[in-house]
Chain A
Amino acid sequence: MNQQVQETSSNEEMLADTVINGNQFLTFTLQEETYGVDILKVQEIRGWSEPTPIPNAPEFIRGVMNLRGEIVPILDMRRRFQMDETSFTKYTVIVVVNVRERTIGMTVDAVSDVMDITVEDMKDAPDFGTSIDASFIRGLAASEEKMVILLDIDAMLQSCELVDLDKIVEKTEATV
């Protein structure tokens, strides 16, 4: 039930974002695909540095790093989406996002661009049959011959066990 509530609210949020806040997305690549996240959720972009591994954490959580005194967990997006592993290069970047008052870093292959995407450009996400859970996807957008998969990072991070379950429930109840 909470899950449903969450989805509804993030859909509404999406529409609201698009209409009110304009529609800029930061796009980045992961294994030849281009993904986009709402630029308003992005705090900063940083170069890769080895994080401190967290004991007994899921594989896709690389560890934590020190971001100006704050302890920030780092998600390996390739691992999260069960893609092939690559070694980290000088192009590997950490996109630091703010979601639900939390600061989280995501490793991506490279950051591409900031794109304007309008509601008309956006299409519903079909069920890909890929490794990426459809519930993480807000929609698809075609731009300059390129297909951009727009991620719903709220939903994605929630599924990443980044927060204790009871806290999610708490927060959901608070927003209802």
Chain B
Amino acid sequence: MTIDMAQFQLTFLEEAAEHLVDLESGLLELEQHGQTDMSAIFRAAHSIKGGAATFGFESIAEFTHVVEFVLEKARDGELKPTEELTSQLLQSVDIISEMVKAVREGTDVTPEGREDCLAALQGYIENPDRGTAVGLEPTSTSSPESRLLQITFKPKPSMPATGSDAANIIRELANLGEIEVSCHTDEVPLLSDIDPEKMYLSWDIQLSTDATTEEIEDVFVFVEDDAEISIETRAAVQSEQQSKSKESETSTTGKSEEKPKQQINKKENAEANKESIFIRVAIDKVDQLINLIGELVTTNAMVEQCSKKLDADENQTLKSAVVEMSSHTRNLQEAIMGIRMMPIDFAFSRFPRTVRDTASKLGKQVNLETTGNQTELDKTVIEKIVDPLTHLVRNAVDHGIELPERRQECGKPAEGTIKISAYHRGGNVVIEIQDDGAGLNREKILKKAIEKELITTETAADLSDEDVWNFIFDSGFSTADKVTDVSGRGVGMDVVRKNIQALGGAVHIQSEIEKGTCFTVSLPLTLAIVDGMALRLGRETYIIPILNIIESIRLQPEQCRTMQDGVEIVDIRGEYFPLLRLSEVFGTTEENTTSQDINAGITVVVESDQTRLALQVDELLGEHQVVIKNVEDNYRKIQGISGATILGDGRVAFIIDLSGLVKLARENGRFAKASKFGALKMAQTTQRQEEVAA
């Protein structure tokens, strides 16, 4: 039988990644508290090694073997887990991770520092036995020739206790050639003295075989300590003779072949196993399910709509069946969506390491607390949010938490605290990253914003704190006095916000000087479904994600004014927002009912990229949970549109992408071209001029 090992390799790689997380968190705990469950981390390394060797990843097996060996010594108290050793082990975890990643991605890269790390680890152990992990047991090469062997097999009475069955051994010998067996019963005691669990028989076997001596010995490999065995070549063609016996017996008396019967009363338990057993399913199967349930939800909505039109009395049965079907469909949808849900701990478990590395590099003391680790959200969302969150955490250590001396000067404990928490709110997951550091410096940010000509000195004073904080999400905006190694690399805050928004999420900042900063990231539970507000524009329906909507309001004409450059501004309770007439931006004016008349339609105040704006639409149709469909499968990207969904009547409705919409409006000259605060600024200037005039 040939079995393709490749099918298990993927499982192994996933599993290895999980073991690596355990390994890492164990080592971090060891470093912080001086102790951890050493057996657990040893086991993690052990499992990686075993799997790697089995599934053909020799270099991972080889490297991990050394790591395992060091861990074993540490577990058994032979090695002291010094800070230096822990660091070295953490580094080796990184190297294994990289090797696993390289295999997964099919790149053939040897991680940097592998050899150095290996050498350093070997320094901890005098004699690392690297050979045992890799390679199969050696097979014999001696040339087999047909010969007659005389074999004596005398099990100890205790042999059955290890589950060995003499009959199996004799059967195996019989497979190797022609066999003649005689059984000795002379040691069988009187019936009254017989212990049925003991073995009293022994055998003489003549075997005519061309099997090698090793092969013969191999038959007895499990019982060599439980029996007296001798193998002698009788009709020797070869002079080679090997004997394992301590004593040799060749007497023959009995002929009957008996063996103790195993008396096994097995409990027939009809009850199935109660253990929670996981199955691993390819992600595309789950995605297919999600797609199918999406179809079902849509079809269900169609049926619902049709049945509403039917006469209630005549179609009572049908109507109640439809109601029931709808409820089943909803439950089914929830259950299927649940499959993709994972605890956010998969992301959180990375942060202890991030905090540790960043803090030690900067000479800071930081304590990390996480809560809500079991909060569940979509696997894809988790995978995509890890990097932005990591950046925020690193940022909190770098820019938030002060150096120990500085903290003490401020009367704070030398050790800073970063709290990361996750919880559900409505249809969203909220993740907060809070530090008790220096807080954001309004003056410093404003100075920088003025330098970068995002605002003018005059308008600076009118900006709310949140507006000011949001500047740090602008590209190329760094308030650090000097670019550190930590903050200097990788993505910037602008990318963080962009990535969060790409997931349909949002990020907000609260900050108080000397008290600390809190980043609040809210994310949808899943990418496949969005809570949307359906709105009418001419004859078409569009969807806006609820997350983006601040409020909807019916405006009076006097609340609206047009600026010099044609940009419209609306005044809502003293706040000014640029107004976008959606029909104009989307070029659907000809069938529109509200092109000029501001109070005929309705205005929706929305927020995107931390910018608020007012959207003029014809009518709001109500909230819907919609299944997101990709438009780009068969078409290209549509600017201002993030996707589409299928309405109850089977027609397609587009889902609006607000940041794309703003970009589109800017290109069309319907929105202030300069900066996002341009319109605001002008509005406020106009207001002042009027006040002066009055």
Mark contacts of A36-75 with chain B using CB atoms, 8 A cut-off: 1 yes-contact digit, 0 otherwise.
Answer: 0000000000000001111111000001111011111100
Pick the contact of A66: B633, B637, B650 (CB < 8 A). B650
Q: Tell whether, in the assembled complex, residue B635 and residue A71 are in contact, meaning their CB atoms are under 8 Å apart.
A: yes
**Chain A residues near B644 (CB, 8 Å)?**
52, 64, 71
**B640 nearest CB neighbor, chain A only:** A55
Distance of A58 Cα from B557 Cα, bound (Å): 34
Cα–Cα, bound, A163→B631 (Å)? 11
A64 touches B646 (CB 8 A): no
Would A69 and B652 count as touching, CB distance under 8 A? no
Give complex CA distance A128, B585 in Å.
Answer: 39
Contacts of B294 in A (CB 8 A): 69
Task: Find residues 638-664 in chain B having any chain A CB closer than 8 Å to their own CB.
Answer: 638-641, 644, 646, 650-654, 664
CB of B588 within 8 Å of the partner chain: yes
Select A55's contact among B298, B586, B646, B651, beta carbons within 8 Å.
B586
A52→B295 CA distance, assembly (Å): 18
In the complex, what residues of A have CB within 8 A of residue B540's CB? 52-53
* B: interface residue count bin: 20 to 34
Are A52 and B651 in contact, CB atoms less than 8 angstroms apart? yes
Residue A164 CB within 8 A of the other chain:
yes
CA distance A129 to B683 in the complex (A): 56
Proximity string of chain A (75-103) to chain B, C-beta cutoff 8 Å, 1 when within and 0 when not: 00000000000000000000000000011
Asked whether A56 and B586 contact (CB < 8 A) given A51-B652, A64-B644, A66-B651, the answer is yes
Pairwise interchain contact A102-B634, C-beta atoms closer than 8 A: yes
Instruction: Collect the chain A residues with CB atoms within 8 Å of residue B638's CB.
Output: 54-57
B:517-565 near A, CB below 8 Å: 540
- CA–CA, A119 to B646, complex, Å? 44
**Could you give, for residues 292-335 of chain B, a 1 whenever the CB lies within 8 Å of some chain A CB and a 0 otherwise?**
00110010000000000000000000000000000000000000
CB distance from A112 to the nearest CB of B (A): 26
Give every chain A residue within 8 A of B639 (Cβ-Cβ): 55-56
The 8 Å CB contact of A164, one of B298, B630, B636, is B636
A73 touches B650 (CB 8 A): no
Task: Say whether B291 contacts A69, CB under 8 Å.
Answer: yes
Contacting pair B298 A64 (CB below 8 A): no
Q: Which of A56, A63, A102 is the most central at the interface, judged by chain B CB atoms within 10 Å of its CB?
A: A56
Please, which residue of chain A has its CB at the minimum distance from the CB of B637? A164
Count chain A CB atoms within 10 A of each CB in B585, B634, B636, B639 and give the residue with the most. B634
A104 close to B (CB within 8 Å): yes
Residues of B within 8 A of A163 (CB): 635-636
Name B629's closest neighbour in chain A (CB-CB): A71
Contact A71 B634 (CB under 8 A): yes
| Docked complex Cα distance between A55 and B640 (Å) | 8
Any A CB within 8 A of the CB of B135: no
Which residues of A are found within 8 Å of B664, using beta-carbon distances?
Answer: 56
Contact A73 B651 (CB under 8 A): no
B594-637 contacts to A (CB < 8 Å): 629-631, 633-637
Among A54, A63, A103, the one with the most B-chain Cβ atoms within 10 Å of its Cβ is A54
Q: Which of B329-352 contact A (CB under 8 A)?
A: none
Q: Answer whether residue A156 sits at the interface, using C-beta atoms and an 8 A cutoff.
A: no
| Interface assignment of A155: CB less than 8 Å from any CB of chain B | no
Q: Say if the beta carbon of B587 comes within 8 Å of chain A.
A: yes
Q: A162 near B: Cβ within 8 Å? A: yes
How far is A73 from B644 in the complex, measured between Cα atoms in Å?
A: 12
* A130 CB to nearest B CB, Å: 27
| Contact of B588 (CB < 8 Å), options: A53, A64, A72, A164 | A53
A102 and B295 contacting across the interface, CB-CB below 8 Å:
no
Instruction: Tell me which residues across on chain B come within 8 A of A64, comparing CB atoms.
Output: 631, 635, 644, 652
A52-B586 in contact (CB<8A): no
Distance in angstroms from A172 CB to nearest chain B CB is 16
The B183-229 residues at the A interface (CB cut-off 8 A) are none
What class of interface size applies to chain A in its complex with B? Answer: 20 to 34
Q: When chains A and B are docked, how far (Å) is the Cα of A105 from the Cα of B178?
A: 75
> What chain B residues lie within 8 Å of A57 (beta carbons)?
638
Closest CB in chain B relative to A61 CB, distance in Å: 8
Within the complex, the shortest CB–CB distance from A58 to chain B, in Å, comes to: 11
Closest chain-A Cβ to B194's Cβ sits at a distance in Å of 74
Q: Does A161 contact B (CB under 8 A)?
A: yes
Known A-B contacts A55-B640, A55-B641, A56-B586; the reply to A73 vs B652 at CB < 8 A is no
Q: Which residue of B lies closest to A103 (CB)?
A: B634
Report B-chain residues with C-beta under 8 Å of the C-beta of A73: 634-635
Q: CB distance B295 to A68 under 8 Å?
A: yes
Q: Which of B440-455 contact A (CB under 8 A)?
A: none
Known: A51-B652, A52-B651. A104 touches B634 (CB 8 A): yes
B587: chain A residues at CB < 8 Å are 55-56
Contacts of A164 in B (CB 8 A): 636-637
- The interface residues of chain B lying within 8 Å CB-to-CB of A161 are 636
Report Cα–Cα, A158/B634, bound state, in Å: 12
Which residues of B sit under 8 angstroms from A102, Cβ to Cβ? 633-635
Identify which of A51, A69, A72 contacts B298 (C-beta below 8 A).
A69
With a CB–CB cut-off of 8 A, which chain B residues contact A65? 651-652
Which A residues between 133 and 176 are near B, CB-CB below 8 angstroms?
A: 161-164, 167
Residues of B within 8 A of A66 (CB): 646, 650-652
Q: Output the nearest chain B residue to A68 by Cβ-Cβ distance.
A: B295
Q: Which of A63, A65, A71, A167 gathers the greatest number of chain B CB atoms within 10 Å?
A: A71
What's the minimum C-beta distance from B544 to chain A, rounded to whole angstroms?
14
Give the docked Cα–Cα distance between A164 and B650 (Å): 27
Across the interface, B635 reaches (CB within 8 A) one of A56, A68, A162, namely A162
0/1 string, B60-104, CB within 8 A of A gives 1: 000000000000000000000000000000000000000000000
A residues within 8 A CB of B291? 69
**CB closest residue in chain A, given B587:** A56
CB contacts (< 8 Å) of B652 on chain A: these are 51-52, 63-66, 71
Cα-based distance from A4 to B653 in the complex (angstroms) = 38
> What residues of chain B lie closer than 8 Å to A68, measured between beta carbons?
295
Q: Which residue of A lies closest to B647 (CB)?
A: A66
Give chain B interface residues in 552-589, CB to chain A under 8 Å: 585-588
Residues of A with C-beta under 8 A to B630:
71
B636 partner residues in chain A, CB cutoff 8 A: 161-164, 167
In the complex, what distance in Å separates the CA atom of A56 from the CA atom of B665?
12
Residue of B nearest to A69 (CB): B295
* Known contacts A52-B540, A55-B588; A70 and B654 CB within 8 A of each other: no
Q: Whole-angstrom distance from the CB of B191 to the nearest CB of chain A? A: 78
Give the Cβ gap from A96 to chain B, nearest Cβ, in Å: 10
User: CA–CA, A57 to B654, complex, Å?
Assistant: 13
- Report A-chain residues with C-beta under 8 Å of the C-beta of B654: 52, 54-55
Bound-state Cα–Cα, A56 to B670, Å: 15
> What residues of B have a CB within 8 angstroms of the CB of A56 in the complex?
586-587, 638-640, 664
Interface centre among A52, A63, A164, A167 (most CB of B within 10 A): A52
Q: How far is A64 from B651 in the complex, measured between Cα atoms in Å? A: 9
Given contacts A69-B291, A69-B294, contact A52 B634 (CB under 8 A): no
- Tell me the complex Cα distance, A55–B587, Å: 6
Question: Which residues of A are interface residues toward B (Cβ below 8 A)?
Answer: 51-57, 63-66, 68-73, 102-104, 161-164, 167
Nearest 4 A/B pairs, CB to CB: A55-B586, A52-B652, A73-B635, A164-B636
Q: List 7 A-B contacts (CB under 8 A).
A: A53-B540, A54-B635, A54-B638, A55-B641, A64-B644, A102-B635, A163-B636
Q: Contacts A64-B652, A66-B646, A164-B637 known; list 8 others, CB within 8 Å.
A: A53-B540, A55-B587, A66-B651, A71-B634, A71-B652, A72-B634, A102-B634, A104-B634
